[in-house]
A and B are shown apart, each in its own frame.
Chain A
Amino acid sequence: MTDLDDRDDVFEDLEVEPEVPEYKSKVGKKRFKTKAAKTIETEKSEIVGYRQQPGKLDFTRPGSGGSSPLSERRDPKMIPRSQGGELEQPWGPHRHDSLVTGRVIGKRTALIDSKWKVTGQAVYGDDVRLPGEIIGRLVRSDRHYARVLSVDVTEAEAMPGVLATATGLDAPSAFGVLPVTKDEHAMAIEKVRHIGDIIACVAAEDEATARIASQAVRVEYQDLDPIFDMRDGLKDSENPIHDRGVYHIGESNVQKRVFQRFGRISDIEDSVASYERDWTFKGVNHGFTEPHAVVAHWDPRGRLTLYTPQQVPHYVHRALADVLNIPMHQINVHRTYVGGGFGGKSDPFPHEMCAAILARKTGRPVRITFDREEVFWTNRGRHPSRISMAIHADEEGRFSGIETDALIDGGGFASFGHVTTYYNGVLHTAPYEIGAFHYTGARVWTNKPASGAMRGHGAVNSRCAVEVGIDDISEQLGVDPIDLRLANLLPPHSATITGFRVTSIGMRECLERVRKESNWEKKFRKMPLGKGIGVGCGFFISGSGLPIHWDPNKFPHATVHLKIDMDGGVTVHTGAADIGQGSDTVVGQAVAEVLGLPMDMIRIKSKESDTSPVDLGSYSSRVTFMNANAAVSAAMEIRSDLITAASSILDLDESKLVLGDRRIFSKRNPEVGISYLEALHKAQEDRGALVASGSYRTPPMGKMHKGAAAGLAPAYSFSAYVAEVDVDVETGSIKVEKVWAAHDCGKALNPLSVEGQIIGSCHMGLGQVISEEMKYGRTGNLLNPDLLGYKIPTVHEMPEVVPIIVESNDPEGPFGAKEAGEGPLLPILPAVCNAVYDAIGVRTSELPLTPDKLFRSIEKACSKKGISDPRDLPNPKLELKPLSKILKKRAKDHSSRDRKRRLDSSPEAYFNGQLFGQEPSNPPEENDPEWMVQVIPDKEYLENPKLAGSAWLHKERRHRRASE
């Protein structure tokens, strides 16, 4: 009773003394002020800070938030020199320096969701179990290519326990990840295009019933002639796999073709060394451990929630609206934990549509989980490719030209293929300065599971061919391959031959570090037969300059919302999809750093489209760059509010205040300050919870030619690896012993994750180079749709990886950061190939380099040299020629040129071509009439086109009509 009496007292008091007039009067003024808030006059009579009714007990003064009652002092080693700290800045200051509080950026930080994962509480696709759920199962084609004459579901529907079925007729709208190539349906409408293509789906009370029912759906087919060889896709066909209407290219299965010619093509003729090889790359699957799974649920109010492990929830959101024919606001896409993506969970998928359709029909939550085989049928892995690579070098050891022809096998659907076709060319126009670049590419449809985007999208295969080519050229020129590379690098703040704006470049440092740490000079061409060492480089985009969906026109690439209520914890709303790479963590780190908070005061809400601002998803290595940038700008707004509040409490000028660990204080006199919570509560006085929004969009850049946007990125990452291998010459098996992996990620916001990405990339790339392939048999069937046959390296195959982080401090990246997720995969392939050459003198042009294939090459080498026992093979030796000295000198000059340029806040323009005598400050096409920019083939080329280039022999239907 006494307690109650006390409480009544309080109420009474409040009633008699309601006067707090300041609050009311300021609402209007303060609401919209941020920085200007300090102009508000503080009335002398006003009680500043924590007030209380007279005679009453004080509220507890607010602590500082966080787990420790004491604020840590700023660690000067974490504060950049530009801000008076001790953190060295060999690459100059950064625009975010003033935001550094020294809390989390650059520290090894456990993933923010790791405790969920290690306790088994993380909810992945198949772990979403809703009350009343039923199980969906897909009916899949057992034909390679056939017209669907009829689908009979009556038998299946009559089975006890079966609740609904659906067929293509239930969802006639087409969808696809790229707006220009929507060629997928929830279920087959007219044709099935590969074994495993979806024809219908069933929903039943339990999995066993659903499986039987799916077998009871009767389908009548009319078989069509399938094509499996990508070269056949270039030819005219009676039944092209898709029909693009007036845009259809001939009557062929060419889905996309590209022609690009830049530079002085005539210089190629003066080359003294050339590498020309036709490469074959097998298809590769992402091999993530979590099979696709989805749960769809229509809530009683008629809204759809789709739970799905997706890298790109937003595109699913759009596709669902199209396919289900409902407005987007009626859909909530809930991204579950994603058990590995690597590009394989970034398309909107038919099974996601099927689950939604079945759930709509039954009014029950529907769960669909894939068998591993279905994962391979969905695929979207790396394209099987045939790449013809030619690299030429002149007498000064410059790359006078690169000529690439890439035919890529798209399988049954377009997926990301439009972009992949460009990426196979444009992503090897750097890091080297080149005299001429000629690329022809084509992507064809075949009757196989669709290829799509996979880690290192489009860049991996052609990069491997380029880097192996450079190794071969250096052998021809009699120079060290690292010297050759170092003497041909583009400088920082330059433009590539196709017009990409490159800002920071850490390529030189990467090469120098791996050379030193691997003890290269002692090993290269000096080890016994079977032991070898090789180098390879990489270059990758850090976010895509143009988003895939860019309507409405000025929609930002990434948006982050922050909400901070009186508890002081920061809720970060972001749509970036954490797929295990740590995007939640890095966005949280960006916010924590700016606000000077420990990570445990940050909570990330990134899962639901209902609460997250639109984000374009986890692809193109865009998340750290774009999302963290958006997070920084949102946090800056809050920071400014806090500083204003602190300034008014402390009566110090805002410019004199800095943020530290949960504290805002005078920079000169750190003892003078207030806690974060005090400042926060002051800032909240008139408006309650603080909210802020930050967004990121890329600056305008690039050239204007057709396709100029492909490969355009606000920043690029660079990497150089050295691999050491042990080859068994009698069996052809390769054991990669050690890899030194240097990657320029701009700034490692979380070194633990960056290293994890580098090592993981090595593992995935290693798989492609030694064992992984999607193997198709003579019948066109995929022979290994399981994890026994699809040979992902085990722990025993994994070499020791020495991750080396190079921080080139990108001017536009958040705190200088660029990507670290995809670029690190590229160099491992050529590094291993080149090391194999060093070990046994056999050059490969086919991946994966399985023991049987390598052994065949060894046999050939033996018979060529008249040797019967492969153990007697001679391995290559290095004899340096005079050019070597010239290159070393040039590399040294360039090194000092680059150092100057990177520290220069407004460096002079530098266009690719200066190395070849072009005027540096103008695009070379403006000075030199012979410098080409050509994106449509001329007649001369068409008289003798290369393989993929022959796609240009076809005319689009619309042009045919006009000419006929």
Chain B
Amino acid sequence: MAGLPLPIAGGASTKVWSATINGKNQQCIIKEHDLLLDVLRDGLGSLGTKRGCDMGTCGCCSILIDGKPRLSCMTLAVEVEGRSITTVEGLSDGHHLHPIQTMFAECGGSQCGFCTPGFLVVSAALLDTNPEPTRQEAEDAIEGNLCRCTGYQQIVDSIMEASKMLTGIGGQQPTTRPASDPNPMFGG
């Protein structure tokens, strides 16, 4: 059963790996056992995707694979070859922020900000499938993400406000337009 630990480096074969990252086809050379999180951070420079606990209990490394939230610290990169991956960097369209980003900034959903990328992609995916979630549905969607600063309340507030902005039912309206606004909002 047990044997001496295997060498960590060397020996593993490398391969050229490609996937659509935030809408852009990207290639890089990976080791076969590389986890998606390592590929994103070290290979592709998506430093917005964070490493918090390494075992799926903080959600900081959450990303979207074909639009669905997944934990990149537990996903082998080879398993998602060729798929469409969205990280926090892919949520905004140029200067035009996704409503969830605007609302996390304005409603206190982000304090230290380290867990924020994970919460953002998870919430964006929620609003994508369910644009008008109840507070309970929003809480259920973020149960796999850990925040130590906010106590979650202002995060759920942010999701609810973003929902209003997205659906145009009450709440704040976007101040910029997708991909067309050369003059980003002042401030922030």
A: residues with CB less than 8 A from B are 66-67, 110-124, 126-127, 129, 161, 206, 208-209, 211-212, 286-291, 337-342, 369, 371-372, 579-582, 598-600, 752-753, 755-756, 759-764, 786-788, 792, 794-796, 798, 800-801
Distance of B90 from chain A, by nearest CB (Å): 9
Distance of A794 from chain B, by nearest CB (Å): 6
CB-nearest residue of chain B to A119:
B92
Assess the B51–A126 pair: CB atoms within 8 A: yes
Assess the A372–B53 pair: CB atoms within 8 A: yes
Assess the A212–B152 pair: CB atoms within 8 A: no
Residues of A within 8 A of B51 (CB): 126, 291, 369
B70 at interface by CB-CB < 8 Å: no
Assess the B112–A118 pair: CB atoms within 8 A: no
Among B89, B115, B149, point to the contact of A760 (Cβ < 8 A): B149
Distance of A767 from chain B, by nearest CB (Å): 9
- Grouping DSSP codes into helix (H, G, I), strand (E, B) and loop, the B interface class, with mixed when no group exceeds half, is loop
Assess the B153–A759 pair: CB atoms within 8 A: yes
Complex CA distance for A182 and B53, rounded to whole angstroms: 31
Assess the A340–B146 pair: CB atoms within 8 A: no
Complex CA distance for A372 and B177, rounded to whole angstroms: 41
Name which of B55, B92, B185, B187 has the most chain A CB atoms within 10 A of its CB.
B187
Residues of A within 8 A of B7 (CB): 212
Residues of A within 8 A of B102 (CB): 118
Complex CA distance for A340 and B88, rounded to whole angstroms: 19
Complex CA distance for A363 and B87, rounded to whole angstroms: 34
Top 3 A-B residue pairs of the complex, sorted by shortest distance between their CB atoms: A120-B48, A580-B112, A339-B114
CB-nearest residue of chain B to A766:
B151
B94-125 Cβ-contact flags toward A at 8 Å (1 or 0): 00010001101111101111111100100000
B: residues with CB less than 8 A from A are 7-10, 45-55, 57-58, 60, 87-89, 91-92, 97, 101-102, 104-108, 110-117, 120, 139, 142-143, 145-154, 156, 185-188
Complex CA distance for A145 and B7, rounded to whole angstroms: 29
Residues of B within 8 A of A122 (CB): 113
Among A115, A339, A581, point to the contact of B50 (Cβ < 8 A): A339
Residues of A within 8 A of B152 (CB): 763, 795, 798
Complex CA distance for A118 and B107, rounded to whole angstroms: 12
Assess the B53–A580 pair: CB atoms within 8 A: no
CB-nearest residue of chain A to B104:
A118
Name which of A113, A342, A795 has the most chain B CB atoms within 10 A of its CB.
A795
Assess the A118–B52 pair: CB atoms within 8 A: no
Distance of A452 from chain B, by nearest CB (Å): 17
Assess the A290–B52 pair: CB atoms within 8 A: yes
Distance of B116 from chain A, by nearest CB (Å): 5
Residues of A within 8 A of B187 (CB): 67, 110, 115, 598-600
Complex CA distance for A178 and B10, rounded to whole angstroms: 45
Complex CA distance for A122 and B112, rounded to whole angstroms: 10
Among A115, A206, A800, point to the contact of B153 (Cβ < 8 A): A800
Residues of B within 8 A of A209 (CB): 9
12 further interface pairs, Cβ-Cβ under 8 Å (given A116-B113, A340-B149): A111-B110, A114-B188, A115-B188, A117-B113, A118-B104, A124-B50, A129-B47, A372-B55, A759-B153, A787-B57, A795-B139, A795-B152
Known: A110-B105, A114-B104, A786-B57. A120 touches B47 (CB 8 A): yes
Assess the B49–A120 pair: CB atoms within 8 A: yes
Assess the A119–B88 pair: CB atoms within 8 A: yes
Among B89, B111, B142, B145, point to the contact of A580 (Cβ < 8 A): B111
CB-nearest residue of chain B to A206:
B9
A-B contact pairs, 25 of them (CB 8 A): A114-B110, A115-B105, A117-B105, A117-B116, A118-B97, A118-B105, A118-B113, A119-B97, A120-B117, A121-B48, A127-B47, A209-B9, A288-B114, A288-B148, A289-B148, A337-B112, A598-B186, A600-B187, A752-B107, A760-B148, A761-B151, A787-B55, A795-B139, A795-B142, A801-B153
Residues of B within 8 A of A117 (CB): 104-105, 110, 113, 116
Complex CA distance for A290 and B114, rounded to whole angstroms: 6
Distance of B162 from chain A, by nearest CB (Å): 11
Known: A338-B112, A339-B114. A110 touches B106 (CB 8 A): yes
Residues of A within 8 A of B185 (CB): 67
Known: A118-B97, A123-B47, A792-B148. A288 touches B112 (CB 8 A): yes
Among A113, A289, A763, point to the contact of B58 (Cβ < 8 A): A289
Assess the B110–A118 pair: CB atoms within 8 A: yes
CB-nearest residue of chain B to A802:
B153
Assess the B154–A289 pair: CB atoms within 8 A: no
Complex CA distance for A438 and B97, rounded to whole angstroms: 57
Assess the A119–B151 pair: CB atoms within 8 A: no
Assess the A795–B58 pair: CB atoms within 8 A: no
Residues of A within 8 A of B50 (CB): 124, 289-290, 339
Complex CA distance for A339 and B52, rounded to whole angstroms: 10
Assess the B52–A289 pair: CB atoms within 8 A: yes
CB-nearest residue of chain A to B110:
A117
Complex CA distance for A156 and B115, rounded to whole angstroms: 36
Complex CA distance for A753 and B9, rounded to whole angstroms: 46
Residues of B within 8 A of A801 (CB): 151, 153
Known: A118-B101, A786-B55, A787-B146. A340 touches B112 (CB 8 A): yes
CB-nearest residue of chain A to B188:
A115
Known: A792-B148, A795-B139. A208 touches B153 (CB 8 A): no
Complex CA distance for A600 and B50, rounded to whole angstroms: 28
Among A288, A371, A752, point to the contact of B108 (Cβ < 8 A): A752
Assess the A755–B143 pair: CB atoms within 8 A: no
Residues of A within 8 A of B139 (CB): 795-796
Assess the A120–B148 pair: CB atoms within 8 A: no
Assess the A289–B114 pair: CB atoms within 8 A: yes
Residues of A within 8 A of B105 (CB): 110-111, 114-115, 117-118
Assess the B52–A795 pair: CB atoms within 8 A: no
Residues of B within 8 A of A759 (CB): 150-151, 153-154
Among B55, B106, B108, B112, point to the contact of A339 (Cβ < 8 A): B112
Complex CA distance for A337 and B111, rounded to whole angstroms: 11
Distance of A814 from chain B, by nearest CB (Å): 21
Assess the A796–B60 pair: CB atoms within 8 A: no
Assess the A581–B111 pair: CB atoms within 8 A: yes
Residues of B within 8 A of A761 (CB): 151
Complex CA distance for A55 and B58, rounded to whole angstroms: 68
Distance of A377 from chain B, by nearest CB (Å): 15
Assess the A787–B53 pair: CB atoms within 8 A: yes
Assess the B116–A118 pair: CB atoms within 8 A: yes
Name which of B54, B117, B148, B186 has the most chain A CB atoms within 10 A of its CB.
B148
Assess the B48–A289 pair: CB atoms within 8 A: no
Residues of A within 8 A of B87 (CB): 120
CB-nearest residue of chain A to B92:
A119
Complex CA distance for A582 and B188, rounded to whole angstroms: 12
Among B89, B108, B186, point to the contact of A755 (Cβ < 8 A): B108
Among B8, B89, B156, point to the contact of A119 (Cβ < 8 A): B89
CB-nearest residue of chain B to A204:
B9
CB-nearest residue of chain A to B88:
A120
